[in-house]
Structure 1
Amino acid sequence: MKTLAIDTSTRQSSLALFQGDELLATDWLDTTVPTTQVITPTLKRLIDEVGWKPTDLQLVIVAQGPGSFTGLRIGVMTAKTIAYVAGATTLGVNTLQAITVRCNEPVSSLHVIMDAQRNQFFHSHFERDEYGKYVAQQDTRIVDQEEFFASLTAGQTITGPGLHNKHALVPEGVRVVDENYWASTAEAVGRIGIAEFLAGKSDDFWTLNPKYYRKSAAEEKLEADAS
């Protein structure tokens, strides 16, 4: 199975190519250039490096959210366009789930957070099963930052890019995963997606959309003006 994985959930976006479950190539997108301008050239270079053609792709996996509104739109639309051209299967992956792949510390319970703006986090709680996979114990939700930190107790473990500039707020005794592993990557998105595909999951090409988990500020303003 020739697979492309896309993660544009944050400004630090990346792409990865897999043959089966073997990572063949991966690279970060240049953050000094708009994602829409750099994603296609970077993908072409990676595909050329491994000796494929775009039409060789059989599975396209994309971080579906939560994350940046603009980034998620770009990632999902790119995934759908490539899948359409290649006749590939599409699959969306939860960004917080992908982050758990990057935690290689021996912890059985893991809280993952991303910045949701307005002093809030996107949050989910995961427990490791007997196969070593982190399984979500709840749907991704939005929580107030102060309330979330107040709910943590000594012995728990936390990770995720929401921790940037918030480390001092973590209660004493709560374990924090190494900062180098807080963010999702295309490789992590791909590994989650490949496992889910092999378990029988895929997404309908026509209905695959980003999952924002909240309305945009513009949408909320329109609703407020209309009320």
Structure 2
Amino acid sequence: MLLLSIDTSIRGCSVAVHSDTGLLAAYDLFTDKSSSAMLTSLMRDSISHAGFELSDIDAVVVAKGPGSYTGLRVGVSTAKGLCYALDKPLIAVNTLQAMALQLAPFYPGHLFCPMIDARRMEVYAAVLDENNAFVQETQAVILTENSFENLLATNQVVFFGDGAAKCKPLFGQHANAVFPEADIKPSAKTVGQLGALAFQNAQFEDVATFEPYYLKDFMSPAQRKASTLVQ
């Protein structure tokens, strides 16, 4: 098994190569530059440094979202193009589920709430247990002081991702709310880990019809401004 994984859920991009033995190569690059401008070279370099060529891969794994509309569109379009060109299957992984996998080994017995900023007091969030199973499915959440209060009443919950900073003024003092100091971003490393499980179970997407998991309808900057004025 040889998998090429791509994550462009937020600014920048992340690429990784996994085999049956584990992670072979990875690049995480988070800059203000366009994902599309960097992604091709990162894929080429990661495969080359792992000792293979693109034609050697068995599948392409992509983070399907939620996240940045533009970023997800770039990642999914690139992944689908590779699958068409190489005649390889496509595997899609939930971005938040892959993020939770980064921290699970360090917080046994906790729940995990990865968050991606969705502007103002809204975040894309999910809650997963230490086995990476969903406790609360992916959703857009408008944060208030009462957010997650039922879970926090009986569980220690780790909040992280670029949307988690919005939580601290609201319920950051709660005894069961945990905020890691590390800046946890989406990464193709854990996208590839979940992709390997999906590959073993032949959980492939229809390349022709697959679309990113935007979670919300896209709004242009002009539309967002108009919506704000109406409110």
Separation in 1, partners of 2:18, 2:201 = 17
- Aligned pair in 2 of structure 1 residues 111, 29: CA closer, same or farther (>3 Å)? closer
SS of the residue corresponding to residue 153 of structure 1 reads: helix
Q: How many residues align?
A: 219
Cα pair distance change 1:179/1:13, threshold 3 Å: farther
TM-score normalized by structure 2? Answer: 0.85
Quote the RMSD (CA, aligned, Å): 2.4
1:53-109 Cα deviation digits (max 9, x unpaired): 111111111110000111100110111111112211101111110011111211242
Contact 1:5–1:189 (CA under 8 A) maintained in structure 2: yes
Shift of 1:219: 10
Q: What amino acid is aligned across from residue 165 of structure 2 in structure 1?
A: H
Alpha-carbon distance, 1:41 to partner: 1.1
Cα distance, 1:118 vs structure 2:
3.1
Q: Which amino acid aligns with 2:108?
A: P
Shift of 1:221: 4.2
Distance 1:53 1:200 in 2: 23
Counterpart residue number, 2:199? 197
Q: 1:197 to 1:207 in 2, by over 3 A?
A: same
Amino acid at match of 1:135: A
**1:6 match:** 6
Structure 2: segments with no counterpart, 5+ residues: none
* Partner of residue 182, structure 1: 184
Instruction: Give the counterpart of 1:210 among 194, 201, 212.
Output: 212
Question: How many angstroms apart in 1 are the aligned matches of 2:182 and 2:68?
Answer: 20
Q: Which residue of 1 aligns with 2:152?
A: 153
For residues 10 and 181 of structure 1, the distance between their equivalents in structure 2, rounded to whole angstroms, comes to 13
Structure 2 CA distance, aligned partners of 1:33 and 1:109? Answer: 34
Deviation at 1:152, TM superposition (A): 5.4
Point out where structure 1 has 5 or more consecutive residues left out of the alignment. Answer: none
Go from structure 1 to structure 2 and tell me whether the alpha carbon gap of 1:218 and 1:37 turns closer, same or farther (over 3 Å shift): closer
Q: Partner residue of 1:142?
A: 140
Deviations 1:17-50 (A, max 9, x none): 0112510000123625321111111211112212
Contact 2:158-2:177 within 8 A present in 1 as well: yes
Distance 1:160 1:52 in 2: 35
State the partner residue of 2:28. 28
The 5 A counterparts of 1:48-197 are 48-103=48-103, 104=105, 105-128=107-130, 133-146=131-144, 147-148=146-147, 153=152, 155-161=155-161, 162-164=163-165, 166-169=167-170, 170-180=172-182, 182-197=184-199
- Residue 33 of structure 2 aligns to a residue whose secondary structure is coil
